[in-house]
Amino acid sequence: MSKTTNLINRELSWLEFNQRVLSEASDASVPLLERLNFLCITASNLDEFFMVRVGGLELLISDGVEKVDNSGMTPREQLDKVLLRSREMVKAQYACFTAGIEPELASAGIRLVSPEAYSEQERNYLEKLFLEEIYPVASPQAVKSVEEFPLVPNLRLNLAVRLEGNDDGKKPLYAVIPLGSSLRRLVRLPADKGCTFTTVENVVRSFIGCYFPGKKVMEISAFRITRNADFNFNDEVSSDFMADMESLVSRRREERCIRLEVEAAASKMLTDFLRKALQVRQESIFELQGPVGLVDFREMLSVDGFNALRYKRWEPQQPADIDSTASMFIEIAKRDILLCHPYDNYEPVVKFIQEAADDPDVLSIKQTLYRTSPSSPIVQALDRAARKGKYVTALVELRARFDEERNISWAKSLEKSGVQVIYGLKGLKTHSKICLVVRREQRGIVRYVHFGTGNYNERTARLYTDISFMTCDDSLGSDASLFFNTITGYSEPQKFLKLHASPIGMKEKLIELIENEAGRSKDGQKAGIMAKMNSLVDPDVIEALYSASKAGVQVKLNVRGICCLRPGMAKLSENVSVVSIVDRFLEHSRIFYFLDGGVEKMFISSADWMPRNLVKRVELMVPVENKACKAKLKMVLESCFKDMAKSSRLKADGAYERLADPKAKGDGFRCQEFLYRSTCQKAEDEAKVQQTVFTPHKSPDLEKK
């Protein structure tokens, strides 16, 4: 077998990940509204996949590139297989919705009705709503020829209307009605019990004559387009980075169409007209057996009640080893703190930065920001700190894909407050998660640092599994200062004491750690690797893992998404196993463990094992040396490999097999449930201990001493 075929194609591997998410939508043991949520996630995922990955393949083909990738396929071959697999997936999505979720929701009291099922009362209600709220907003645009087709927005719902032609009627007339972002996709109807919805396109369809008086409407079809969002931006020659990024965001609205989705009932005449007008290839047209744009049905998830159709809430817990009444500086000074989100509450991280903003002894705050929430309390704290005269530096990565507009807005706002804002580094995305607080104390200047595997986003911290590590370790504090001085100035990269950074050494360190395990195994010593990440793509790292496997090292990998490594192949990777967990929380943490002869080296990181992370981004890999913190991380890793409820095993051919018995009734070990229950138990045990501790009230003067 050639070296190239030792690797799975990354695009096809990603599609298999989305299929695993779709499997959750089809799983009858998952609560019904959660199944709808998983289905909407697969639709949203596929939208982004087409914008970025399919768009990238289209560009390579148009540029005449025929070079094969690491799996041995040309861009054309990849695109053909991607489109074929995508069609299979879309067919499965709509079968899941129309034959499964939709009728089951109706039985549970959440109905989606079509025009032919409207009662007289419902039709009267919708007519009034149409005339008052839709007709004044949505306007048709006549399309006299394909050359005059309007610029329709990316991923927005539209109606294509074919009208009977003038004179002899042989040449039809066309119009487009953009339904835009200001109209809700789902319209709720009055109902005595339960919830009844219809779609906005069906409301317009029912009263289409109001738009075209005196004209005969021959047909109406909903459609949606996907525009390419993958294009090169050379920031090396940018003279005004902010302005160029704003231009890039605007440019996306006009990029070429790479996918057309249209209702299957649309005639060939109408579909051909859209194809020519949008200049999209026939192979890129998806005729859908259901409503266009499944992602919009997320609106159903917000209905009140129906708690039996949702997961039972798992509330984040106050970390058992953190005194919620004490300052975070006092808590971190006692010992290193490691939090596993979302089981551990994210509040201590927010509190740490908010306290830093308000503490008069804090001299400076330096932080990287990649994706934040719309009303981020962390960004607000940085703003407040700057207004209070503290030295605040924020590296706001403007190139965080699809979050560019929000980050541009935050950057401008922070600059007005006096924050030193760095827009990123030329030629590199800054994806590392680090916050450095410098504080004056009686013992001198102390550096407190937060390292994370996830974004500084308190909302996604409730939905993603991530790690927070807070410390005032002198070496890590020194490294943090060096890191910020390097990325904010013109200084040459210096050697860190403990940290490892990309693109200056992290990849080499990872390969060194893997090779060290291989060497120990060859010498007859115990060796082992456990790693958890989102994606494994880098061919050099994979080759090192293959070599370690051939040396007898047991390699256990938990890779949520893309995995290009082929496990279980004789004389190549028979000692490598790969699992993927898809459950109620998105697995997002990166944890790396190397046995190292019993020393047990443990790291957390912002980086996946992909070329883009290890070569094209600024990332950090942080050693965790505290015994209790290491034990907690090891427990997380080991629980991932025990999962028999929500885990799938990767096979050598790139397919996945579910480890759980589909006939079992949830009796298998479930990693996320175990970690949540363990966190709750620790919080409960700590609460009992606190009940037996007598804490006297002291005078304010004594408290200060």
- pLDDT by residue (tens digit) across 274-329? 999 999 999 999 999 999 999 999 999 999 999 999 999 999 999 988 999 999 99
Are residues 611 and 564 in contact, defined by beta-carbon separation less than 8 angstroms?
no
Q: 628-632: long-range contacts at Cβ-Cβ below 8 A with a sequence spacing of 24 or more?
A: 628/335, 628/336, 628/338, 629/336, 629/337, 629/338, 629/469, 629/602, 630/600, 630/602, 632/338, 632/340
Average pLDDT for residues 605-620, to the nearest whole number?
Answer: 95
Burial 573-607 (b: 16+ CB within 10 A, else e): bebbbbbbbbbbbbbbbbbbbbbbeeeebbbbbbb
pLDDT digits (tens, 9 = 90+) for 322-380: 999 999 999 999 999 999 999 999 999 999 999 999 999 999 999 999 888 888 999 99
Give tens-digit pLDDT for 395-424.
988 765 666 777 778 778 888 989 998 887
Rounded to a whole number, what is the largest CA-CA distance in the chain? 97
* Confidence (pLDDT) at 237: 44
359 vs 248: CA distance, rounded Å: 39
Pick the CATH number of 520-691 from 3.20.20.70, 3.30.870.10, 3.40.50.10800, 1.10.760.10: 3.30.870.10
pLDDT at 400: 58
Quote the Cα angle for 171-172-177, to 5°. Answer: 155
Res 238: pLDDT = 44
Annotated catalytic residue, options 341, 431, 450, 500: 431
pLDDT surpasses 50 at 545: yes
Query: Both ends of the chain: CA-CA distance in Å?
Result: 71
pLDDT greater than 50 at residue 702: no
What's the rounded Cα separation, in Å, for the pair 629 and 606? 17
CATH of domain 328-498: 3.30.870.10
Q: Which region among 21-30, 174-183, 443-452, 539-548 has the lowest average model confidence (pLDDT)? A: 174-183
CB atoms closer than 10 angstroms to residue 5: 12
Q: Do the domains 125-235+254-304 and 328-498 sit in the same CATH topology, yes or no?
A: no
Question: What CA–CA distance (Å, rounded) separates 477 from 479?
Answer: 5
* pLDDT tens digit sequence for 223-269: 999 999 876 555 544 445 556 555 555 565 668 899 999 999 999 99
Please check whether the domain covering 1-108 is classified as CATH 1.20.58.310. yes
More confident residue, 583 or 425: 583
CATH topology of domain 125-235+254-304: polyphosphate kinase like (3.30.1840)
Angle 114-115-116 (CA atoms, 0-180°, nearest 5)? 95
Assess whether 341 carries a catalytic annotation.
no
Beta strands in 460-599 (DSSP E): 464-471, 500-502, 528-533, 554-559, 576-581, 586-587, 591-594
Query: Of all residues in the chain, what percent carry a pLDDT higher than 90?
Result: 81
| Alpha-carbon gap, residue 597 to 6, rounded angstroms | 29
User: Residue 532 above 80 pLDDT?
Assistant: yes
The confidence score (pLDDT) of residue 519 equals: 97
pTM of the predicted model as reported, rounded to 2 decimal places: 0.92
Q: What is the DSSP letter of 99?
A: I
Tell me what the mean pLDDT of segment 667-679 comes to: 94
> Which residue ranges make up each domain of the chain?
1-108, 125-235+254-304, 328-498, 520-691
pLDDT band at 482 (very low <50, low <70, confident <90, very high): very high
Q: What angle do CA 98, 18, 8 make, to 5 degrees?
A: 140
Ranking 145-149, 493-497, 513-517, 593-597 by mean pLDDT, the lowest is 493-497
- Give the closest residue to 294 by CA, choosing from 8, 24, 40: 40
- Average pLDDT on 491-495 reads 76
Residue-wise pLDDT tens digits, 77-132? 999 999 999 999 999 999 999 999 999 999 999 999 999 999 999 999 999 999 99
Mean pLDDT of the chain: 91
* Mean pLDDT along residues 619-627: 97
Question: Rounded to the nearest 5°, which phi and psi values hold at 562?
Answer: -70, 130
Contact 617, 607 (CB under 8 A): yes
- Burial (CB count <10 Å: 0-12, 13-18, 19+), residue 437: buried
* pLDDT surpasses 50 at 60: yes
pLDDT at 1: 36
Residue 636: which of 607, 685, 608, 671 has the closest Cα?
Answer: 671
- Residue 549 half-sphere exposure toward CB, CA atoms < 13 A: 24
Among 233, 230, 235, which Cα is nearest to 256's? 230
Bond prior to 342 in cis (omega within 30° of 0): yes
Residues in the chain: 705
